[in-house]
């Protein structure tokens, strides 16, 4: 099944709303509409930037989409500091990242929380980008495939095949995030291929064949081509390089 590549820029806690507008304008200028026939491009700014990004995207009819870096497990109510899926959907978000390793590590988010967030996103017609990935110790112990599949099963537990067909998976080895140490295309493919096989068991092979699996971890304009050439890698979740408009646009054009 043909899968349209997705290049997603996770800005993390960078750029205020004015800087966000400038960056989206730069990406849009470098990426004429014709590119969007073959690649989906999305930016994932901090929550406080989303309204400004929405205004720009709607006003200029840009084909870039946008999403959030996290979403609450709750529907609404007394959860100070939380942002609900309904609020994000109302702002026109397409995606919500769930289970990024920085949330798993610094906010103790386990697979059950990641699953609850993915469910909230799905309920409000946002596409969850479900992140999984092993740390360096697991990679060195060579138990990374089993580790990732365990995280995958835990983060998708009980979802129907139809729900699984609506998600995006991001394989992000923690040792590669922000380190400049990108996984080799073969190493990334090994895990992404195993993820697809496992999705076939959790849903069915047809559903698995349609799910987009992204690689994330020090991806940039130089290495993204080789990564995307792998049969089970359908795009990239990009951190550092997504803050440079020209480089992010180049990565999108390569995809
Ligand atoms: C990320 O945080 O999702 C990421 C992939 O970061 P970087 O590209 O900077 O490694």
pLDDT for 1: 65
pLDDT for 116: 98
Which ligand 1 atom is the nearest neighbour of the CA of 170?
3
Contact residues for 105 (Cβ-Cβ < 8 A; gap 6+): 174
Fill in the DSSP letter of residue 67: E
Paired strand residues for 44:
10
Q: Which of 172, 190, 198, 247 is catalytic?
A: 172
Whether the model clears a pTM of 0.95, i.e. scores above it, the answer is yes
Q: Specify burial of residue 153 (Cβ count, 10 A radius: 0-12, 13-18, 19+).
A: middle
Q: How far is CA 204 from CA 7, 87, 189, 209, 231, in A?
A: 25, 32, 20, 9, 18
The answer to whether 107 is a known catalytic residue is no
Fill in the DSSP letter of residue 192: H
Nearest to 150 by CA among 195, 192, 187: 195
State which of 6, 9, 12 you would mutate to test the pocket of ligand 1, scoring each by most atoms of that ligand within 8 A of its C-beta. 12
CA contacts within 13 A on the Cβ side of 20: 27
CA distance 113 to 159: 14
pLDDT string in tens for the chain (255-residue length): 689 999 999 999 999 999 999 999 999 999 999 999 999 999 999 999 999 999 999 999 999 999 999 999 999 999 999 999 999 999 999 999 999 999 999 999 999 999 999 999 999 999 999 999 999 999 999 999 999 999 999 999 999 999 999 999 999 999 999 999 999 999 999 999 999 999 999 999 999 999 999 999 999 999 999 999 999 999 999 999 999 999 999 999 999
| ipTM above 0.90 for this complex | yes
The answer to whether 144 is a known catalytic residue is no
Which ligand 1 atom is the nearest neighbour of the CA of 102?
2
pLDDT for 2: 86
Q: How far is the CA of 182 from the centre of ligand 1 (A)?
A: 10
Beta carbons of 115 and 122 less than 8 angstroms apart = no
- Calculate Rg over the CA atoms of the chain: 17
In this structure, the residue with its CA closest to atom 6 of ligand 1 is 239
Fill in the DSSP letter of residue 143: -
* CA 119, chain centre distance (Å): 16
**Each residue of 219-246: b (16+ CB within 10 Å) or e?**
bbbebbeebbebebbbbbbbbbbbbbbe
Which ligand 1 atom is the nearest neighbour of the CA of 100?
3
N- to C-terminal Cα distance for the chain?
A: 17
* CA 245, chain centre distance (Å): 18
Domains of the chain: 6-254 (3.20.20.70)
Q: Which residue ranges have their beta carbon within 6 Å of ligand 1? A: 10, 172, 177-178, 216-219, 237-241
Nearest to 96 by CA among 130, 73, 123: 130
């Amino acid at each position: 099944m043909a899968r349209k590549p997705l290049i997603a820029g996770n800005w993390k806690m960078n750029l205020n709303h004015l800087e966000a507008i400038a960056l989206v304008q730069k990406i849009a200028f470098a990426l004429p509409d014709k590119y969007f026939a073959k690649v989906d491009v999305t930016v994932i700014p901090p929550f406080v930037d989303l309204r400004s990004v929405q205004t720009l995207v709607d006003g200029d009819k840009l084909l870039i989409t946008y999403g959030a870096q996290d979403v609450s497990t709750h529907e609404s109510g007394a959860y100070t500091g939380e942002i609900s899926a309904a609020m994000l959907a109302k702002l026109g978000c397409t995606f919500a990242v769930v289970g990024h390793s920085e949330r798993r590590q610094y906010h103790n988010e386990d697979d059950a929380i990641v699953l609850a967030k993915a469910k909230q996103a799905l309920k409000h017609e946002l596409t969850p980008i479900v992140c999984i990935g092993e740390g360096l110790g697991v990679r060195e112990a060579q138990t990374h495939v089993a580790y990732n599949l365990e995280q995958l099963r835990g983060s998708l537990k009980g979802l129907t095949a139809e729900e699984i067909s609506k998600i995006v998976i991001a394989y992000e080895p923690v040792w590669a995030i922000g380190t400049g140490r990108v996984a080799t295309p073969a190493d990334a493919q090994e895990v992404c291929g195993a993820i697809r096989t496992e999705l076939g068991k959790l849903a069915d092979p047809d559903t698995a064949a349609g799910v987009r699996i992204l690689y994330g971890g020090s991806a940039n304009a130089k290495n993204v081509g080789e990564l995307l050439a792998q049969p089970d890698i359908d795009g990239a979740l990009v951190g550092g390089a997504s803050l440079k408009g020209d480089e992010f646009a180049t990565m999108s054009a390569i995809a």
